[in-house]
Every structure is written in structure tokens, then in C-alpha cells.
Structure 1
Amino acid sequence: MTSRAEERLAKLGLELPPDWTPRGQFLPFRRDGAIVYLSGQICEWDGAVTHTGPAQDTPEGIKTARKAAQICALNLLYRLREACDGDLDRVDAVLRLGGFVNCTSGFGQSPAVINGATELFIALFGEDGWHARTAVGVSGLPGNAMVEVDAIVRLTR
């Protein structure tokens, strides 16, 4: 059975990625009761980084980086579906996103970039997709990825 969230995803013309092996020695998520802590996901698809950094401070560069953030969100959703035993409709609230943008010193568009992930969570979960958030510029990410995003989500029991 497909969740309503996955149906919304398909209507947006998006899909969850294929499974992949994490780049480091960590769990993709950790549950503590109804709370799921999702490890940071880079803009990676089928084992390859889709967008490398640093993000460019131009309209086209921001658009590209937003797409990278959206791919991070799709990777988070894939792991979240595992944490929900295959049912994304168990998401009660997206509590927090942490966003990291590979950029040069002085880059001030990190919030606009991470909106690429935020907007997907809101599109899929409505009011329950709104969250607290950080958006930070950094000098490097794994695989020279342009963006990495992590999340904390509360599930229904």
C-alpha cells in the first residue's frame, strides 16, 4: 500500500531514490520512542553525488543548490520510510531540519537553498511538515556534495 505522502510525491513528479550504502560508519536513523533522528543525507542518487560544491551565489546557482537540497530531502524520506516500517503516513510532525551548504566565505543564501528541502516536507505533510530549522554555510561536505540535510521527526505510535 502506498502512503498518501508517497502519492503526493508522485503527483509532484518525484520518486524516492534507490537504496544505497552510507558513506560512513553510522546508522541512517535512530528511533527513541516516537522520535526519529535522521542522519545527514547529501545530494546523492544511486551512489553518485548529483551536485558538487561550492554553491554559486547567482540565481541559477541558487536554483541548482535548491534542487540539491530537494534530493537530500528525498534521501531523508527514504530512510524515514524505513523508520516508519514502510508507512510515511505515520509522520506526526517534522520537528527540525538542519541544512548545510557547501559554499565560499560570505555566501548569504543558505536559507534560500535549504528551502528546497523545507518545501518538499511541507508539500508532503502539510502543516505537519513545518519545522524548526538551521541553514549553515560550510567549507566542505562528504563527496564535495553541494548540500547536506538532517532531520528530527515525530511519529504516531
Structure 2
Amino acid sequence: MTIEARLSELGITLSTPAAPAANYVPFVRSGNLVHVSGQISQTKDGMIKGKVGADLSVEEGAAAAKRCAISLLEQVKAACDGDLERLVRVVKLTGFVNSTPDFGQQSTVINGASDFLVEALGDKGRHARSAVSAAALPFGVAVEIEGIFEIA
């Protein structure tokens, strides 16, 4: 089964990725690695904003992280010239959670992205990871995740 077919089974359709909001590129290919810039939590209806632990629950934060993972795949597809089958594996994610000072479940929030990538990609989705707290994120979003991917 292709990656796109599996995503379709999960009810996910990849869109054209968002353009950068500042002076950077959405991804850089270096050899067989694609470094994808941080993707913020957003849906087609707008940004998912707020602090996890105050404005958002852990579950809502995890859903926001999943949205970041979908955006990461959109960027990887663009880096692969539209052929997501070139994706060999997810190498590493770094997740930032806009959270209160006493919040300590950043890893549970970023599991929203990790679990989705494994569900969608199988073993190709298993990756190294960091999950850290942030006092604030751009535009007040709840989550931002950057990633490194191996492609053929």
C-alpha cells in the first residue's frame, strides 16, 4: 500500500504546503536528508493557539501536534517533487510545546505527532525525538515541530 493510500484510509489528504512566514525556506535537501523547518499547529480553518496546561488540555495539544506532523509530510512531499514514496524514514523530530511553567507532559503532547507518523508510515515513521517546553511560540500557536527525513 502506498503512503498516500494509507493516509487516505486515515482520512488525511495532503494539501499544498504553507509558504514560509519569514526569511527562510520550508525545507533544505542535503544529500538524502530533508530538514523541514518548524511547522506550526494549524488547520485549514486557522491556527491552533494557546498554552497547553492553561488554555488547552493535553489531548488538545496532542491533536495540535498531529496537525504539525501532517504539515511536515506536506513539506516532505514537496521536497520529493510530489512523490511521497521516496520517503525512506522519519529520522528525528524536535517538538516545542507552548506550555505553562509547571506543565511537564511535553512528551505526551508530542506523542500526537509521533503516534500519527507511526500509524501512517509504519516502521518508516519511527524516529528519534526531543520534546521541550516553550514560554511562547510564533503567533501564540500551541505546538511547533521541525523534522529530519531520509529520502531516496
Per the shorter chain, which TM-score range?
A: over 0.9
Q: Which runs of 5+ in 1 are unaligned?
A: none
Q: Partners in 2 of 1:123 and 1:23 — Cα distance? A: 30
Which of 53, 73, 76 lines up with 1:77 in the alignment? 73
In the TM superposition, residue 57 of structure 1 has moved relative to its aligned partner by 6.7
Q: Partners in 1 of 2:69 and 2:78 — Cα distance? A: 14
1:55 aligns with 2:52: yes
> Would you say the 8 A contact 1:18–1:46 is kept in 2?
no
**SS of aligned partner of 2:29:** strand
Determine the structure 2 residue equivalent to 1:15: 13
Spell out, residue by residue over 1:48-93, the C-alpha distance to the aligned partner (whole angstroms, 9 max, x if none): 31x21201279x7111111100110111111100011111111111
- Percent identity, aligned pairs only? 38
Q: Partners in 2 of 1:20 and 1:92 — Cα distance? A: 23
Q: Partners in 2 of 1:56 and 1:13 — Cα distance? A: 28
In the TM superposition, residue 21 of structure 1 has moved relative to its aligned partner by 2.7
Q: Which runs of 4+ in 1 moved over 6 A?
A: none
Determine the structure 1 residue equivalent to 2:26: 28
> Would you say the 8 A contact 2:54–2:100 is kept in 1?
no
Q: Partners in 1 of 2:32 and 2:73 — Cα distance? A: 16
Q: Which runs of 5+ in 2 are unaligned?
A: none
Cα RMSD (Å) of the superposition?
1.8
Spell out, residue by residue over 1:12-62, the C-alpha distance to the aligned partner (whole angstroms, 9 max, x if none): 11222444332221100000011000000001234831x21201279x711
In the TM superposition, residue 5 of structure 1 has moved relative to its aligned partner by 1.1
Determine the structure 2 residue equivalent to 1:97: 93
Which of 41, 44, 54 lines up with 2:42 in the alignment? 44
Which of 136, 140, 144 lines up with 1:144 in the alignment? 140
Which of 2, 5, 8 lines up with 2:3 in the alignment? 5
* TM-score, with length taken from structure 2: 0.93
